Amino acid sequence: MTLFSPEHSATPDETPWYDVVVCGGGLAGATFARQLRREQPDASVLVIDGQTYPVPLAAHKVGESTVDIAGFYFSSVLGLAEYMADKHLPKLGLRYFFGQAGRPFAEAPEIGLSGFPGRSTYQIDRGVLENDLYEMNCEAGVEIATGSMVREVDLGPGEDSHLVHYVDGEGVPRSARCRWVVDAMGRARYLQRKLGLQRPTEGQFNAVWFRVAGRLDVEDFVSDDNADWHERVPGRNRRLSTVHLMGPGYWVWLIPLGSGNTSVGIVTSGEIHDIDGMSTLPTAVEWLEKNEPEVASALPQHEVLDFLAVRDYSYTSSQVFSADRWGCLGEAAAFADPFYSPGSNMIAFENSGLIGLIGEDARGALRPERVDELSRFMLSQNDWLAYNIHSSYSYFGEPLIMALSFIWDTLLSWTTATPQIYNGIFLDEEKAAAVRTATPGLYALTVQVKRLFKQWEQKAGRGRDFRFIDYDKIPFLHEAYERNLVEGKSVADLVADHRHSMAVLEEVAQAIFLIAVEDTMPERRAHLGEHPWLNAWAIGLDPEHWRSAGLFHPTTPPRSLDQTYATLTALFDAPSPEPDTTPAALPIELRL
């Protein structure tokens, strides 16, 4: 059955006709096909898939780690909750270690969860998932041409159908006509290159990764005799986190796979670490010996199954959806950075947005301005991630700054991005408009906090340390998680949630600012105590600009920062005592 009449074809012939042709059958294309058939069961779908099945387990692909948006997408939107729990590992959140050369691993400051969160996320074995999605989609009536390669896509003008030329698994040239064509062919970015839409992101960020046979477990880096360290996370469950080993300009991931193997990756800023110094397995091991010796020491115990290096992996686009009835998904659309595991999140947004547009087209209600709005939404998500993450690499090795940066980013995600998918805000124009009215100044506040962190890294300080931060036990983070990761909310409830979240974000931004001042210029802190409520949109570490920026002239009603400030400072050791200073020692302009 079809959603659209084949009479839409400009030149009717014997070429098969489909509502949607999906070019690419990897994670983005396969999940899109499943979601489309679930939400629009009358849609006729052809997936032109270069893979043949079964694909290898521990497939050599990124996208193994999911976070809350993707967890909800797989379990609820795709209806795979039981399957994911049965076939893939549960994920114990994100985990960070900040080691130093010559310092025992057990002494590295750690951020992570002690127990599993209330909403499930997963460590995905891509080979297992893609094999199973193939079977599910076949059973759902999706036509899949395996072992096939797309050769050309002729985009039809106006209401004319598109024509996709491909070579099937037997080497036979074939064609298919369609109302909608979807590019899910990954980094080839076929449609974007064809239309000249691709755009680079700033800087160069590189990655190498490989799989090893068996369990490479961070718990093995610390002796069993260190009971206190192991008891912080009961059950030797740290390995079920996406483990990040952090250092200046880099992070190393350790991700367990349901097949029993382990994924290992090195991700770096090209300004700090040269990709040529790790672009082969031997040089990557040498790099690990220097920067993460515990990982290097564990590698000889494991067979290396594969290896890949990718230079300058980040990119964006000018457009990902078009009213001319095409769309780009996954890595065929844009890719920011693997830090924070956002890849499947973007697939969730893109798939849901494009399927919504296809539904509007089927109802005769497709509007170019709505297509453009959703395209901009997708790109804004990706571009913010790229800016926010890439500008953080220079302080990845700073435990205090990164701890507060992670707490801020997690709060921002749970209060603004995650509710978008749980309640389909971006798919509903009324909800989206209402939420925007409840979050005035949100973007400006996030940019100001990011500027604060960048200023902080340039200044001496770091007087505070910590051993272990369980971020689920931070009251305002736990409350944000429980409040916002809930589906089925009314517009009024969503507006109330976002107003509350803006107030929390404003308070946390000010508390972070006070800690940054204490760390870098403690002599200024007493003066700030005379102003118990500040303008969060004017925070920064240049005291000469505090007055002109309006720091002491808040635009919102004053509230007490005591609880938020106490919550954050309690996470860290007290700073070293400083010489006694008083406001009278400050320039007169700062005492006004």
CA distance 60 to 211: 8
Query: CB neighbours of 70 closer than 8 A, spacing ≥ 6?
Result: 121, 341, 344, 345, 347, 348
pLDDT of residue 335: 97
Question: Of 4-8, 20-24, 64-68, 461-465, which gets the smallest average pLDDT?
Answer: 4-8
Residue 123 contacts residue 240 (beta carbons within 8 Å): yes
pLDDT of residue 11: 46
pLDDT of residue 582: 42
- What's the whole-number mean pLDDT along residues 545-572? 97
pLDDT band, very low/low/confident/very high, at 6 (cuts 50, 70, 90): confident
Q: What is the pLDDT of residues 413-455, one digit of tens each?
A: 999 999 999 999 999 999 999 999 999 999 999 999 999 999 9
pLDDT of residue 285: 98
pLDDT of residue 2: 87
Residue 285 contacts residue 296 (beta carbons within 8 Å): yes
Determine the straight-line distance between the first and last CA of the chain, rounded to whole angstroms.
Answer: 74
Q: What is the pLDDT of residues 152-206, one digit of tens each?
A: 999 999 999 999 999 999 999 999 999 999 999 999 999 999 999 999 999 999 9
Return the CATH class of domain 89-123+204-310. Answer: alpha beta
Q: What is the pLDDT of residues 357-367, one digit of tens each?
A: 999 999 999 99
Give me the CATH topology for the region 6-58+69-81+125-198+318-390: FAD/NAD(P)-binding domain (3.50.50)
Examine domains 6-58+69-81+125-198+318-390 and 89-123+204-310 and report if their fold is the same: no
pLDDT band, very low/low/confident/very high, at 577 (cuts 50, 70, 90): low
CA distance 183 to 186: 8
- What's the whole-number mean pLDDT along residues 67-77? 98
DSSP bridge pairs for 262: 212, 256
Across the chain, mean pLDDT equals 94
Per-domain boundaries in the chain? 6-58+69-81+125-198+318-390, 89-123+204-310, 430-590
CA distance 295 to 221: 8
Evaluate if pTM is beyond 0.85: yes
CA distance 353 to 393: 31
pLDDT of residue 592: 30
Report CA torsion sign: 331, 336, 341, 342. negative
Q: What is the pLDDT of residues 344-382, one digit of tens each?
A: 999 999 999 999 999 999 999 999 999 999 999 999 999
Q: What is the 3-state secondary structure (H, E, C) of 565-580?
A: HHHHHCCCCCCCCCCC
pLDDT band, very low/low/confident/very high, at 584 (cuts 50, 70, 90): very low
Strand, helix or coil for residue 28 = helix
Is it the case that residue 215 has pLDDT exceeding 60?
yes
Parallel, antiparallel, or unpaired: how do β-strands 242-247 and 94-98 relate? parallel
Query: CB neighbours of 412 closer than 8 A, spacing ≥ 6?
Result: 446, 505
Q: What is the pLDDT of residues 451-494, one digit of tens each?
A: 999 999 999 887 899 999 999 999 999 999 999 999 999 999 99
Q: Is 519 exposed, middle or buried (0-12, 13-18, 19+ CB in 10 A)?
A: buried
> What counts of helices (H) and strands (E) characterise the chain?
19, 20
Q: What is the pLDDT of residues 111-133, one digit of tens each?
A: 999 999 999 999 998 889 999 99
- Give 177-204 as a DSSP string: EEEEEEE--GGG-HHHHHHT-EEEPSS-
Q: How many degrees, rounded to 5, is the angle at CA 498 between CA 496 and CA 503?
A: 100
| Residue 169 DSSP label | T
pLDDT of residue 60: 57
Is it the case that residue 591 has pLDDT exceeding 60?
no
- What's the whole-number mean pLDDT along residues 41-49? 97
Q: What is the pLDDT of residues 257-271, one digit of tens each?
A: 888 999 999 999 999
C-alpha count within 13 angstroms, C-beta hemisphere, residue 105: 20
Is it the case that residue 51 has pLDDT exceeding 60?
yes
Q: What is the pLDDT of residues 294-343, one digit of tens each?
A: 999 999 999 999 999 999 999 999 999 999 999 999 999 999 999 999 99
| Residue for token pair 């940019």 | 447
